[in-house]
Amino acid sequence: MATKPAGRSKKNPGRTAKARTRKNPARPSASRSTKQKPARPLTRREVEELRRFLEAEQVRLNEELEAIEERLPEVEQVGMDASGSYDEDLVDVASDTFEREKGLAIENSVHQLLHQVEEALTRVEKGSYGICQVCEQPIHPDRLRALPYARLCIRCKEREERALPR
Ligand SMILES: [Zn+2]
């Protein structure tokens, strides 16, 4: 009569449970999330291509800024000089101000984009283009093709977004 070994699976239950909840940051290779292969650095040719794209983008954004500035309505100062029937003027000014605010908001975002493009071009000059500014690992070429002015790899970007206060 053979007795089956019972209760063999109950080995230090408390210890294993504890070990599982604790992540070990000292072993990066332990986290194999397979969907992210380690990125290879860009080839010179790829950097060249992206640089040309960034330069074209810089030109385009500058033109866009000029166009926005031309369209921005001038907001006249409404003088409060006594005799005025300035009611109608105020309505005009209000709508002009609204248009202007809208225009300025767009201008602002174009400015920011232009700034990012220019920074990326600076990194091309310095030879640090395509390198994550946080972990200093190569940024995946696919990511750079999608977002040529990316300064962080996707992991660091996600981490940064999680850390941002809402
Ligand atoms: Zn990174």
Whether 121 and 149 have beta carbons less than 8 Å apart is answered as no
Buried/exposed code over 35-66 (b: 16+ C-beta within 10 A; e: otherwise): eeeebeebeeeebeebbebbeebbeebeebbe
Rounded to the nearest angstrom, the distance between the alpha carbon of 134 and the centre of ligand 1 is: 5
**What is the 119 CA–ligand 1 centroid distance (Å)?**
17
Expressed in angstroms and rounded, the spacing between residue 95 Cα and the centre of ligand 1 is 46
**d(CA 117, ligand 1 centre) in Å:** 19
Q: Compare 166 and 4 and report the one with higher pLDDT.
A: 166
Which is more confidently placed, 76 or 111?
A: 111
The Å distance, Cα 153 to ligand 1 centre, comes to: 4
pLDDT digits (tens, 9 = 90+) for 30-79: 444 445 567 899 999 999 999 999 999 999 999 999 999 888 877 655 55
Q: What is the 3-state secondary structure (H, E, C) of 45-89?
A: HHHHHHHHHHHHHHHHHHHHHHHHHHHCCCCCCCCCCCCCCCHHH
Least confident of 78-82, 96-100, 150-154: 78-82
pLDDT band at 84 (very low <50, low <70, confident <90, very high): low
Dihedrals phi, psi of 5, to nearest 5 degrees: -70, 110
Distance 139 CA to ligand 1 centre (A): 7
Domains and CATH numbers, the chain: 41-75+85-163 (1.20.120.910)
Return the axis-axis angle of helices 44-71 and 87-126, rounded to nearest 10°.
170
Q: Is 73 exposed, middle or buried (0-12, 13-18, 19+ CB in 10 A)?
A: middle
pLDDT at site 145: 95
CA 157–ligand 1 middle distance (angstroms): 7
Using the mean position of ligand 1's atoms as its centre, give its distance from the Cα of residue 165 in Å: 20
Mean per-residue pLDDT of the chain: 79
Q: Who surrounds ion ligand 1 at CB < 5 A?
A: 132, 134-135, 153, 156
The whole-number pLDDT of residue 82 equals: 55
25 or 61: whose pLDDT is higher?
Answer: 61
